[in-house]
A and B are shown apart, each in its own frame.
Chain A
Amino acid sequence: MHIADGILPPLWCGLGHAVSLTSIYWLGRRIDSGEVVRLGMLASASFAASLIHFPLGGTSVHLGLYGLAGVLAGRRAFPVIFAALLFQTVLFQHGGLLTLGVNAGNMGAGALLAAVLWRLPAGPDAARAFAAGFLGVLAPAVLIAIEFSLAGYGKGFFLLSALYLGAAALEGAITAAIVVFLRSARPALLAIPL
């Protein structure tokens, strides 16, 4: 799900960086140093967790935890996602430096959608957490398909994004399990405002 350099026009890449950096400034307003340290640790934990591969249907997939970042960090999830993607780009070459802004915009949009969904007043914890984890993966896949279509690559990626349904369901199930655990162990972590 990490778009490599060379695929999108440079103007889009520049726009992606502009939107991402503006979002980091805007969503990070009035943040105190204690919260940033907690976000940094959350980013480290999410990054460490994303390195773990889970068996699924004869193959293995790794988690993104974009939805969980939205649940735990609210609107502050965006800089967490940007930082985690920068690490993935530099350490594993997942994605490119120029497309980092677009990639962060895609995944960050998934996390923000998850943040809003989780904070809806209706429904049990597990169902909202599942939806947050599920859409945290599926929304970026759909956004990438739209970007590919607009950049002249045809509609093929819409079909491919259907393949992400399995990974999105796994992500939803694990997010729900984490949230149910945190509700019993430390409910204060789940009450951070948007």
Chain B
Amino acid sequence: MRDLFERLDPAARLLTVVGAAVIVVSTPRAVLSPFPAYFALCLLLILTGRASARHLFFRTLAVSPFLLLAAGLLAFEAGSLPAAASVAAKGYAAALLLAFLTGTTPLGELLAALRRLRSPASLNLILGMMHRYTDLLSEEYARLERARNSRTVRPLGKERFRVYGRQLGALLLRSWDRAERVHAAMLARGFTGEWPEPERRPAGVRDAAFPGLTCALFLAARLWL
């Protein structure tokens, strides 16, 4: 039971979370009655996966600044406390659902889910490149930073923007040159414009039933509570 969610196809996991979030967010403003049921359903959903409580807690809280700002604007400018509470509850429920998805589905699987759902090929390729190279380029920038710090004896002062700019420019140049090499290597290996997909089991009844049942339960809470 605890890894039921992880055993679903990643596309089914994405559809489950997006479907539930759409239903929660579509609750009319100032209507608060379905939210206890929404959060109870979120908890039930969480019990089907292995996302850590720490991940769920901190990721859900991460949306607070913008969410509380919006709720505050509603409370003070529009003078509607129930509407403010409803926006905050919707935001936290949607954030909890997304945190559950990211806590159970590694980034590579999420990108595979997007490809399976037929997102644009150029976007898939850009996302795939980011997945492979962001860490590498972050480390490269960290090396540039270390080299600068070890050779800079005085604070940079007003020069700092120019120095940061040159450093970032150097990172861009390196990444551009790397892109040329990577593309040549990809072509040499027979690249035809799309990532090769690994063998994957075809989507089964469970992959359709789980998102369907989850969305039906959220919809029932939305319509009858």
Chain A: residues with CB nearer than 8 A to chain B?
Answer: 2-7, 9-10, 13, 21, 24-25, 28, 31, 33-34, 36-45, 47-49, 51-52, 54, 72, 79-80, 82-84, 86-87, 89-98, 148, 152-157, 160, 170, 173-182, 185-186, 189
A7 touches B91 (CB 8 A): yes
CA A174 to CA B166, docked complex, whole Å: 9
Name the B residues within 8 Å of A48 (CB-CB).
134, 137-138, 140-141, 171
Q: List 7 A-B contacts (CB under 8 A).
A: A13-B22, A40-B179, A44-B130, A47-B130, A93-B60, A174-B161, A180-B165
B110 touches A90 (CB 8 A): yes
B123 touches A79 (CB 8 A): yes
Q: Across chains A and B, which 10 residue pairs bring their CB atoms closest together, nearest first?
A: A177-B165, A40-B129, A154-B77, A6-B91, A6-B90, A5-B94, A181-B169, A41-B179, A44-B133, A45-B175
CB distance from A74 to the nearest CB of B (A): 14
| Residue in contact with A177 in the complex, picked from B26, B141, B162, CB distance below 8 Å | B162
B183 touches A97 (CB 8 A): no
Which of A4, A86, A173: most chain B CB closer than 10 A? Answer: A4
A-B interface pairs (CB < 8 A), number? 234
Name the A residues within 8 Å of B47 (CB-CB).
none
Closest-by-CB residue of B relative to A31 is B122
B125 touches A33 (CB 8 A): yes
CA A157 to CA B190, docked complex, whole Å: 51
Which of A41, A89, A182: most chain B CB closer than 10 A? Answer: A41
